[in-house]
Structure formats: structure tokens, C-alpha cells
Structure 1
Amino acid sequence: MNDIPTRERIVVAANRLFYREGIRAVSVDAVADEAGITKKSLYYHFKSKDDLIAAYLSHRDQPNLAAYRKWFAQADGDLGDRIYAIFDHLAKAAARADWKGCGFLRTSAELANLPGHPALQVGRAHKKAFESWLADVIAADGLEQPVLLARQIMLLLDGCFSVAMLHRDASYMQSAGAAARSLIAHASSRAGADLRREVLPDPAGERD
């Protein structure tokens, strides 16, 4: 039973240090000190620093996805407004002094020369899970090409993560959210036009 809180303590410490300082800058010794354990105890729970980095991203995975779903579900308005709400909440987070961008993207940049790293597998799965969820909510709204729309919004999301961090300007999040809302509005208007064409009689046909 004591193993469970110790492992969790290690992951929480790694999450705090890796997110704040980056994975390369933080040693295993620093994580052990932060967790209040010995280096030997850390290696009892994790075979290597690589495994610890993967656990760090796994620790962020479900809470982040749950936050996106919560912000979407609690927002008012149509589909575009609810997707915009995700970006708006991220803008609030990005305005804080301790915000360091997307932990998944920052880690992938640091591990760019190691495509098989276990942490990158976690990162890819996380991004794909969010993209798939987006496609599902778009499809549920009756729009065509939900997979394409989800990918376009995903590009907006990850793009604004990077640019907002570079400029330390959270408004890029809201600009990206407005672009996502425009994509949804355009798709909705196109779907509405197609529906009207199906419902309305063909004037040329009536003259025949």
C-alpha cells in the first residue's frame, strides 16, 4: 500500500519540475529531492528517466482531456461557441505567470530526435484522443467532414499554444478560437444550404 503514494509523489514532483523547467534541465536527483525520497527509491518505481518522463505526460493526459470536455459542456451557444470556450479558458491559463505552454508539445520538441521515445507515444495518443473527441462532437452536430474539421481545429490549437508561449500573449488563444468558430460557422452554413436545396422544390422541374 505504501508503494502507491510514493509513486504518486514521484510523478507529482516530476510533473512540477518537468513542466516548469523542461525535461532536459531536470535530473533524476532533482525529482527525488522534490519528492522527498532517495534516488534509489525512485529507481525502484521507475526503471529510467525515460519511463519517468512518460509517466509525467500520462499524469497530465486525462486531467487535460477532462478539462477540455468540461469547458465545452459548460459553455453556452452553438457548437462554434462551445469550441471557442476551450480556447478562451486556455487563454486565461496562458495569462498566468507560471504558464509554460503545452507540456506535450514542449516535451516532443525536446525529444524530436528520439521518435520512438515512450513519452512521445503518450503525447501522440493524447493529441489523437482530443482530435477524435472533436470529430465526434462535430459529427454529433450533423456537420460534414468532421475528421477534417477536427484536424483543422487541432492545428489552430497547437499553433496558438506555440505562438502564445513565444510572445507571452494569451490573446493568440482567443484569435485561434475565433478562427475555429468561423470554421464551424462556415461548415454549418454550407450544411444548411445543402438541406434547403433538398427540401425546396426545383423551380425548373415545376415548369416542365
Structure 2
Amino acid sequence: MAPAADTRSRILAAANELFYAQGIRATSADRIIEQVGITKVTFYRHFRTKSDLVVAYLEAQAAAENDWMLSVIDPGEPAGSLAALAAGIGAASCQPGFRGCAFINAAAEFPDPEDPVRRTVDAHRERMLQTFAEIALAGGVSDVPASARQMMLLRDGAMVNGYLGEPEAVAEALDAGFAAILTQAALR
């Protein structure tokens, strides 16, 4: 018999795969239970509701994305940090099986701002916006909140464009957009 932590990890791994590939609402708890090979009782012992599972899935995605962002950012090099983010986003968004940003996808499926899923999405996006604000501040821009929002919009657009473009083209366009924000905002 698998330890509880292992079972929980297997449920989350299946949810990650299925939610991302097929959509959250389109993936039933029964489908996840079947893929993991557990009983409903076991599933509900780990996640009382499907919503709890979705929140855990998004929290794991958020932690991974946040860790990655922090790993490529050099606080003393805002332009270099943005270039590294652009290259990573360009590479990720053009990989086979890429279906867009898990958070944007979840927000589209859960529009109610009071839903726990949507609150998880919003919390992650707020952390990302704060990271962009820290980069903008290090870059010496005069309107940090506006520059951070512009960077977030560029990031979101690159995630969507990844369906259509080549990794290098997406990364180059994103890097150019980020650089333009730093340059123009610093001149204001």
C-alpha cells in the first residue's frame, strides 16, 4: 500500500496532466481516480472536493513558476533578468503540448472572483506582478506599477503567441518589449 504522501502526489500529478491538457471543468474527479488507480474514498480522503484539488494543483504550479522566475532573476541586472525571463517564456510557450498559461486558462473557467480557484489564480498573478514591479524598480523606471502591468501584459501575450510562433521569435519579441518598457519608462 502506498504511503499517503505518495498517493497525494500521484493524484496531483494526474490532475496536473489532465487539467492542463483537457481543461479543469472537462476533467472529472472520476477520471483522475481512474488514472491514479485509487478508490473514491481514497481520493476524497486527500481532497474533500474537486475545488480543493484544483487549488492544490494551481498552488503547485504557482510555486514552480515562482521558483523558476526567482532562479533566473538577478536583482542587480534588470535588463538581464528580463532577457532571461523572455528566453524561458519563449522556450516554454513553444514546447509540444503547450496549452497556454495554466492560470489564464483557470481564470477563464472560473470567472467568479470569490471562487477559491479564482482567488488562487489572482494571488499568483499578484505575486508575478510584484516580481515585475521589483524588476521595474531596479531598472529605475518612474512609474513602477504601470511598467509592471505592461510587463505582465507582454508575458501573457507571449504565452498565447507560443501556440503560433517559434521559441526564438517569441523570446526576441518579448525581450524587445520588456527592454522598451525599461527604456521608455526610465525616460519619463
TM-score above 0.5, yes or no: yes
- Residues 11 and 100 (structure 1 numbering): CA distance in 2 closer, same or farther, change over 3 Å? same
Q: Which residue of 1 aligns with 2:7?
A: 6
- Residues 28 and 168 (structure 1 numbering): CA distance in 2 closer, same or farther, change over 3 Å? farther
Shifted more, 146-155 versus 80-89: the winner is 80-89
RMSD: 2.3
- Residue 173 of structure 1 deviates from its aligned partner by 4.6
Q: Which residue of 2 aligns with 1:79?
A: 78
**How far apart in 2 are the matches of 1:120 and 1:173?**
28
8 A contact 1:160–1:172 mirrored in 2: yes
Q: 1:26-105, aligned counterparts within 5 Å?
A: 26-73=27-74, 78-105=77-104
Q: Which residue of 2 aligns with 1:120?
A: 118
Report which structure shows greater RCO (CA 8 Å, sep ≥6). 2
- Residue 136 of structure 1 deviates from its aligned partner by 1.8
- Residues 172 and 23 (structure 1 numbering): CA distance in 2 closer, same or farther, change over 3 Å? same
Where does structure 2 lack aligned partners over 5 or more consecutive residues? none
- Residue 157 of structure 1 deviates from its aligned partner by 0.9
Q: Which residue of 2 aligns with 1:185?
A: 183
Percent sequence identity is 29
Shifted more, 55-64 versus 30-39: the winner is 30-39
Which amino acid letter does the alignment assign opposite residue 138 of structure 1? A
**How far apart in 2 are the matches of 1:41 and 1:158?**
37
Q: Secondary structure at the match of 2:74?
A: helix
8 A contact 1:81–1:181 mirrored in 2: no
Q: Does 1:138 align with 2:139?
A: no
- Residue 168 of structure 1 deviates from its aligned partner by 5.4
**How far apart in 2 are the matches of 1:180 and 1:169?**
18
- Residue 80 of structure 1 deviates from its aligned partner by 2.3
- Residues 73 and 32 (structure 1 numbering): CA distance in 2 closer, same or farther, change over 3 Å? farther
- Residue 149 of structure 1 deviates from its aligned partner by 0.9
* Structure 1 length-normalised TM: 0.80
Aligned residues between the structures: 186
- Residue 63 of structure 1 deviates from its aligned partner by 0.9
Which amino acid letter does the alignment assign opposite residue 95 of structure 1? C
**How far apart in 2 are the matches of 1:146 and 1:116?**
28
* Structure 2 length-normalised TM: 0.88
Task: Spell out structure 1 runs of 4+ moving beyond 6 A.
Answer: none
Where does structure 1 lack aligned partners over 5 or more consecutive residues? 192-208
8 A contact 1:80–1:182 mirrored in 2: no
| Larger-Rg structure | 1
- Residue 162 of structure 1 deviates from its aligned partner by 2.3
- Residue 78 of structure 1 deviates from its aligned partner by 4.5
Q: Which residue of 2 aligns with 1:162?
A: 160
Q: Secondary structure at the match of 2:141?
A: coil
8 A contact 1:160–1:176 mirrored in 2: yes
Q: Secondary structure at the match of 1:144?
A: coil
**How far apart in 2 are the matches of 1:102 and 1:185?**
27
- Residue 169 of structure 1 deviates from its aligned partner by 4.9
**How far apart in 1 are the matches of 2:73 and 2:40?**
41
